[in-house]
Amino acid sequence: MNRLWTLLLLLVTAACTTLPTTQQAEAPPPAPREFRAAWVATVANIDWPSRSALPVAQQQAEIVAILDRAQQLRLNAIVLQVRPGADAIYPSALEPWSEYLSGEQGKPPEPFYDPLALWIALAHERGLQLHAWINPYRARHSSARSPLAATHISNTHPEAVRTYGDSLWMDPAEPAARQQTLDVVADLVQRYDLDGVHLDDYFYPYPVAAPTGAAATASGPIELDFPDLPAWTRYLEGGGTLTRADWRRSQVNLLIAALYRNVHQTKPWLLFGISPFGLGRPDHRAPGITGFSQYDSLYADAETWLANGWVDYLAPQLYWPIEQKPQAFATLLDSWGKENVLGRHLWPGLYTSRIDSTAKSWPAQEILNQIALARQHSGSRGHLHFSMVALLQNRQGIGELLQAQAYASTALIPASPWLAQDAPAAPTLQLQDGAMRLQIHAGPGTAAQWYAVWKRFDSGWRFFSQSATRDLVDLSADPRWGPARGVVISAVDRTGNEGPRVAAPPLP
């Protein structure tokens, strides 16, 4: 019996060799790290589904096509809009089905399926993160056409909803509105295997001009004020002393702080991110930067969110070309970096959909140049494309350019050490099928979300990543680089922590 145990131990040792801590000449370099994502908008059928009331089979085929394209481009995350306007693209007891799926608010897909569950499962199979993007306050988009369902917040809590311009908005200062969003996010986080929760730039709505014929000021048309007088009156009668603008910002801050706390109490590893308008508060701007103030008009105090650590990543929407000096890309990114005193992730949003067929179209090279600039910034290791449709349509060959240049290899998501630091244990590796495949056996403890794979060819090391749901590595010769001479693998958890590297047995 002792001889048997000794033989088994020798076999395990031969099948798996952990690299020494000190890197040797033959050891691979560090894994590339970069968050590469695309927004997938469901509102007004911008990205998915391509039209309202699309048959279920076509909806599902479009999901596969989008995720296949994301994997082909070597993205590592999708930010999917799951709540375009107090509705849902998944079965919910809190809000009605979105009309952008079935054509009628409150009507489920027929035949029935859970779109969000399918998105998550197929994304994870491809090694992609899936972040659920919600609009925290929009209650009805101007593109909506079907009647409001009985379960819509405008019917269940009409006191919390306001008409502003041609849309409906939940009043951020109404407790029922805040609680609705908190409940929706809690439900999403509890029921779905998400990798992140994401808010966009809509807090108080963007200003709407007064109707034609109304008086104007020297600076332009009069803007309609958001109709939150009932909540404001209650605040004043209760002894409140803040200005109305500061009070509005405080109401948004209450939601952001509560969301961050609640998300991590349920799932500590989950990323919570916000993509605010790209210009910060006016008194924090660099010289020469001008333009719309989200701080004064949307009442979004993004600088405070960063300072208090209420986000795991901030994705300011830097939707201007590099040479546009009043909104200079590099200057804005640097300004946001200076606000990021806690070192959270700073991943700018890129306006990739500005590559189009209009006279205002950007050249595809603009996006590559912006990625290059972001990579030069020490605090920015990622970016998001708005939106997936431009990549799916390969406008001006943007896909080939990204694959050949910016995304020549896959990349792991940057680690989030403030969320977790326990890395997965080393896997064990075993050659199969005449050394044509490598079997990965997960180690104990912290679960792996991805495997980082280095293959050594005659030309050097090449990096790959794959979902931990795939436990086999193909070792057949690569048409570009020939046969692999060696393989090194490590396990990576869902917050990006990498475990010990393991070398495969010698390849024939």
| 285-303 pLDDT per residue, tens | 999 999 999 999 999 999 9
What is the sign of the dihedral through the CA atoms of 495, 500, 505 and 506? Answer: positive
Entry pTM: 0.93
- Max distance between CA atoms of the chain, in angstroms, equals 96
Are 100 and 168 within one domain? yes
Average pLDDT (212-224) is 63
Percent residues over pLDDT 70 in the chain: 93
Quote the pLDDT of residue 19.
41
The band of 222, judged by pLDDT with boundaries at 50, 70 and 90, is confident
Q: How far apart are CA 371 and CA 375, in angstroms?
A: 6
pLDDT of residue 10 exceeding 70: no
Q: How far apart are CA 149 and CA 106, in angstroms?
A: 6
Compute how many other C-beta atoms are within 10 angstroms of the C-beta atom of residue 65: 13
Q: How far apart are CA 29 and CA 23, in angstroms?
A: 9
CB neighbour list of residue 32: distance below 8 Å, 6 or more residues apart: 409, 410, 411, 412, 463
Quote the pLDDT of residue 213.
57
Residue 359 lies inside a defined structural domain of this protein: yes
Residue 1 lies inside a defined structural domain of this protein: no
Quote the pLDDT of residue 508.
78
- 102: domain CATH number is 3.20.20.80
Q: Tell me the pLDDT tens digit for each residue of 463-495.
A: 999 999 999 999 999 999 999 999 999 999 999
Average pLDDT (161-189) is 97
Are 328 and 456 within one domain? no
Q: How far apart are CA 321 and CA 368, in angstroms?
A: 11
pLDDT of residue 21 exceeding 70: no
- Per the prediction, the chain carries an average pLDDT of 93
Q: How far apart are CA 492 and CA 420, in angstroms?
A: 12
Tell me the residue type at 396. Answer: Q
- On whether the CB atoms of residues 361 and 355 are closer than 8 A, the answer is yes
Q: Whose CA is closest to 490, among 30, 74, 76?
A: 30
- What tokens does 59 get? 């909806």
Q: Do the strands 382-385 and 35-40 form a parallel or antiparallel pair, or are they unpaired?
A: parallel
* 40-44, 273-277, 376-380, 388-392: the lowest-pLDDT one: 376-380
Are 26 and 40 within one domain? no
Give the angle subtended at the CA of 257 by the CAs of 256 and 262, to the nearest 5°. 100
CA dihedral 173, 105, 41, 261 (to 10 degrees): 40
Sheet harboring 138-140: ordered strands across? 138-140, 167-170, 161-164
Are 329 and 476 within one domain? no
Residue 490 lies inside a defined structural domain of this protein: yes
- What tokens does 229 get? 């007088």
pLDDT of residue 156 exceeding 60: yes
Residue 9 lies inside a defined structural domain of this protein: no
Q: How far apart are CA 291 and CA 278, in angstroms?
A: 10
The band of 434, judged by pLDDT with boundaries at 50, 70 and 90, is confident
Over the Cα atoms of the chain, what is R_g?
A: 25
Strand partners of residue 478: 482
Are 68 and 19 within one domain? no
Q: How far is CA 407 from CA 15, 350, 472, in A?
A: 33, 15, 24
Asked which of 406, 433, 456 is the last residue of a domain, the reply is 406
Are 382 and 444 within one domain? no
Are 357 and 423 within one domain? no
Domain that holds residue 492: 14-30+419-503
Average pLDDT (151-170) is 97
The band of 215, judged by pLDDT with boundaries at 50, 70 and 90, is low
Quote the pLDDT of residue 20.
39
pLDDT of residue 91 exceeding 80: yes
Q: How far apart are CA 417 and CA 495, in angstroms?
A: 8
Q: Whose CA is closest to 15, among 3, 7, 23?
A: 7
Residue 5 lies inside a defined structural domain of this protein: no
- On whether the CB atoms of residues 140 and 168 are closer than 8 A, the answer is yes
Tell me the residue type at 123. Answer: A
What is the number of structural domains in the chain?
2
Compute how many other C-beta atoms are within 10 angstroms of the C-beta atom of residue 374: 22
pLDDT of residue 248 exceeding 80: yes
Tell me the residue type at 194. Answer: L
Are 152 and 176 within one domain? yes
Are 448 and 378 within one domain? no
Q: Do the strands 382-385 and 349-350 form a parallel or antiparallel pair, or are they unpaired?
A: parallel
Asked which of 406, 439, 463 is the last residue of a domain, the reply is 406
In total, the chain counts a number of residues equal to: 508
pLDDT of residue 357 exceeding 90: yes
Are 23 and 54 within one domain? no
SS (H, E, C) 285-339: CCCCCCCCCHHHHCCCCHHHHHHHCCCCEECCECCCCCCCHHHCHHHHHHHHHHH
- On whether the CB atoms of residues 35 and 379 are closer than 8 A, the answer is no
- 489: domain CATH number is 2.60.40.10
Are 138 and 283 within one domain? yes
The band of 218, judged by pLDDT with boundaries at 50, 70 and 90, is low
Residue 371 lies inside a defined structural domain of this protein: yes
- On whether the CB atoms of residues 19 and 501 are closer than 8 A, the answer is yes
Tell me the residue type at 367. Answer: I
Residue 413 lies inside a defined structural domain of this protein: no
Are 207 and 349 within one domain? yes
pLDDT of residue 17 exceeding 90: no
pLDDT of residue 3 exceeding 50: no
Q: How far apart are CA 150 and CA 95, in angstroms?
A: 9
Asked which of 364, 383, 406 is the last residue of a domain, the reply is 406
Quote the pLDDT of residue 2.
40
Compute how many other C-beta atoms are within 10 angstroms of the C-beta atom of residue 312: 22
Tell me the residue type at 128. Answer: L
Residue 2 lies inside a defined structural domain of this protein: no
Q: How far apart are CA 149 and CA 96, in angstroms?
A: 7
